[in-house]
Structure 1
Amino acid sequence: MATPPCSPHFCLASMASAREGPIPFADTHGDTNLVSSPEQREEEHADLIAALPSASAADSPVKLLRYQGFWLPDFYVAAAINLQQRFEPRRDDVIVASFPKCGTTWLNALTFATMARAAYPPAGADHPLLRLNPHQCLPFLEGLFQGGREAELEALPSPRLMNTHMPLPMVPRAVPACRLVYICRDPKDMVVSLWHFLGRLRPELPFNSVFECTCDGTMSYGPVWDHVLGYWRAAIARPDKVLFLRYEELLRDPAGQVRTLAGFLGTPFSAAEEASGTVDSIVKLCSFGHLKGLEANKIGHLNPLLPIPRDALFRNGASGDWVNHMTPEMASHLDEIVAEKMRGTGFTFSEL
């Protein structure tokens, strides 16, 4: 029987990626993985979705629906249900997870560069991160499962590298089936980053509106404390399957954190790689300043249906910027709310 033809991208992926790491998703499926078009949205869960509590929030231009204790954008509720019912993880899958505006873009880049370093040396002139935004390299799970595009995920060769903002209960089959890498961030800095990000779409949005929806938990994927706790508890229970990172620690010691990441992924850096500077090359390639200066991150939008410029992902990248936007009273108020929500869990943001 003749071998069926395939595209050059997919043939290359089939030959190399199963041995050497993930391939850029945009090279096989185009730049359409964040949000599906309205006509692709599934209606099979319409009755369940219609019965869910709803709210409007400053951080979302769409209605939020409360599903299993979390506020999700209305068009991602079907994705959550489908993920719970249909997502079939593979043993060598890796999922990068985060609450929005907590270091997602940086961690996507670092994880891709670390996993794919055999196929794409980080110092190479043709590295995918030099021509693609980090979000174009990883399929976004809710974007695919919202529009019934799971087949695109199934078609990817192993090992697959994926991204999600979903709370852990929405991907219940992931642990202990595969590996998850989660990143958290001081909620005060998260609020500031989110406000600036949304301001590119809604310049009139008051900072106080985003602050208040964070405090009461009514925000996309919120409450943030429940989101963080789900992954943190999983990391405590299964440290071999869930790596819990802190944005501030990544800022302080990116090379050390990349070594931790590689070890967790089962691909620690060899003595030869250490000697040749591979770790430093990954850190440099994925650094905020380097990524911000690339043309791929200066032009275009995140998605045709989410017209926020890609450069909105690279505003500041620092820690502690909240002092320039919050009064001491606001900061104390948010800290007190988070501390109360975390009481008795063993987790605290004060370690940051």
Structure 2
Amino acid sequence: MATTNKTGAIGPVPFMNDGSAALGVPLAGLTGDDPKLWVRFYQGTWVLATFVPAIASIQQSFRPRGGDVVIASIPKSGTTWLKALAFATMARGVYPPDTAAEHPLLRLNPHQCVTNLERLYSAGQESMIEALPSPRLLSTHMHHSILPSSISKNPDCKIVYICREPKDMVVSLWHFCRRGKPDVSFSDLFEAVCQGTSVSGPFWDHVHGYWNASKANPEAVLFLRYEDMLRDPAGNVRKLARFVGQPFSPAEEEAGVVAQIVRLCSLDNLKNLEVNKPSSASQPFANDWFFRKGEAGDWVNHMTPDMARRLDAIVEEKLSGSGLSFA
């Protein structure tokens, strides 16, 4: 039986989903013959080929409800951590963060609690989204430019976007790709990112689109930086709670609920849970793939000075005049 939270609404609840494969186009030899990682150029963006029909369907048919929250990001920009923090924050009325052994995040991966729209639709499970109680917490890797207007122009549907320093994003993406295809070279992936042809590329358009949307409508789009969250996780959890309309009460502050959420969702805690340890389970991406170091500045261990200067120059050029920088 569903339980209501303190605002009287039900949800979010954890959602487990699966993926499916479809034919696509290999990316410059980078992804080889693995169709799960093929990409296509779609409406000015590079997306997984398996997701093209799903994105078209989302654009045509997805209808948010009032109170829905959509987490948006480029892959490997802090999505897993933000999903955990957002779920724990929004669901705290039903699942207190200090509940021993009973919290969904202790038995499910964050991606099993917060479903990705593209993956849900590509698996033919879009009808299941209507069964989810409100408020629904969902996610996407789509550019702002290809979001359905039912999301991007809907004042009752909020978007929480997270970005990461591009050099660290590239390193994290490479390590993730290597889990499924060990022979992917860092130089090949780096070149694809610089050319704007990596998954969810061009990355500068992805970031720029949500940055502009957050400036135009800060009540509907919250723009977060991974590095800021590392420096002040509690402050950013409070910001997130206010944005989704569930600010922490004085009683919750006094009880230390914010600190409980931060501890529950810390990357060290999550990656050491049994559900997120390496396993032989058959699925598109194993749960442990989503956890590595989670540090800022690890790019120095993988990238030459020339590579770093090149990527920094691209970012400076592409984001020039926007007010956004990663310096």
TM-score by length of 1: 0.86
Q: Is 1:211 aligned to 2:190, yes or no?
A: yes
Say which of 78, 86, 93 aligns to 2:53.
78
Q: Is 1:137 aligned to 2:116, yes or no?
A: no
Asked if the contact 2:196/2:202 (under 8 Å) is kept, the reply is: yes
Q: Is 1:267 aligned to 2:267, yes or no?
A: no
Number of equivalent positions: 318
| Structure 2 partner of 1:3 | none
2 CA distance for matches of 1:330 and 1:37? Answer: 34
2 CA distance for matches of 1:302 and 1:138? Answer: 20
1:84 Cα deviation after fit: 0.9
Q: Structure 1 residues 335 and 57 mapped into 2: Cα distance closer, same or farther (>3 Å)?
A: farther
1:58 Cα deviation after fit: 2.4
| Structure 2 partner of 1:156 | 132
Deviations 1:190-215 (A, max 9, x none): 01001111111111211111111110
Deviations 1:54-80 (A, max 9, x none): 844626844321111101111111111
Q: Is 1:36 aligned to 2:20, yes or no?
A: yes
- The alignment partner of 1:345 has SS state of coil
Say which of 4, 29, 33 aligns to 1:16.
4
Identity across aligned pairs (percent)? 53
1 CA distance for matches of 2:176 and 2:123? Answer: 25
**What amino acid is aligned across from residue 16 of structure 1 in structure 2?**
T
1:20 Cα deviation after fit: 4.5
1:150 Cα deviation after fit: 1.6
| Structure 2 partner of 1:127 | 103
Deviations 1:156-180 (A, max 9, x none): 1111000111112232321342001
**What amino acid is aligned across from residue 4 of structure 2 in structure 1?**
A
Asked if the contact 1:58/1:219 (under 8 Å) is kept, the reply is: no
1:265 Cα deviation after fit: 0.7
Q: How does 1:330-341 map to 2 (within 5 A)?
A: 330-341=307-318
| Structure 1 partner of 2:225 | 246
Q: Structure 1 residues 98 and 301 mapped into 2: Cα distance closer, same or farther (>3 Å)?
A: farther
| Structure 2 partner of 1:90 | 65
2 CA distance for matches of 1:195 and 1:280? Answer: 32
Q: Structure 1 residues 269 and 146 mapped into 2: Cα distance closer, same or farther (>3 Å)?
A: same
2 CA distance for matches of 1:301 and 1:315? Answer: 18
Q: Structure 1 residues 284 and 84 mapped into 2: Cα distance closer, same or farther (>3 Å)?
A: same
Q: How does 1:213-228 map to 2 (within 5 A)?
A: 213-228=192-207
2 CA distance for matches of 1:323 and 1:303? Answer: 34
Q: How does 1:30-69 map to 2 (within 5 A)?
A: 32-33=17-18, 35-36=19-20, 55-56=27-28, 58=30, 61=34, 62-69=37-44
2 CA distance for matches of 1:344 and 1:205? Answer: 35
Q: Structure 1 residues 211 and 302 mapped into 2: Cα distance closer, same or farther (>3 Å)?
A: farther
**What amino acid is aligned across from residue 109 of structure 1 in structure 2?**
A
Deviations 1:117-156 (A, max 9, x none): 0100001011110000000001210012223322111111
Asked if the contact 2:31/2:38 (under 8 Å) is kept, the reply is: no
Asked if the contact 2:14/2:112 (under 8 Å) is kept, the reply is: yes
2 CA distance for matches of 1:92 and 1:250? Answer: 24
Q: Is 1:316 aligned to 2:306, yes or no?
A: no
Asked if the contact 1:106/1:286 (under 8 Å) is kept, the reply is: yes
1:300 Cα deviation after fit: 4.0
**What amino acid is aligned across from residue 123 of structure 2 in structure 1?**
G
2 CA distance for matches of 1:96 and 1:111? Answer: 9
TM-score by length of 2: 0.92
| Structure 2 partner of 1:296 | 275
Asked if the contact 1:71/1:221 (under 8 Å) is kept, the reply is: yes
Say which of 179, 194, 200 aligns to 2:173.
194
**What amino acid is aligned across from residue 165 of structure 1 in structure 2?**
H
1 CA distance for matches of 2:11 and 2:169? Answer: 31
Q: Is 1:280 aligned to 2:259, yes or no?
A: yes
Structure with more helix by fraction: 1
**What amino acid is aligned across from residue 99 of structure 2 in structure 1?**
G
Asked if the contact 1:176/1:238 (under 8 Å) is kept, the reply is: no
Asked if the contact 1:232/1:244 (under 8 Å) is kept, the reply is: yes
1 CA distance for matches of 2:281 and 2:205? Answer: 27
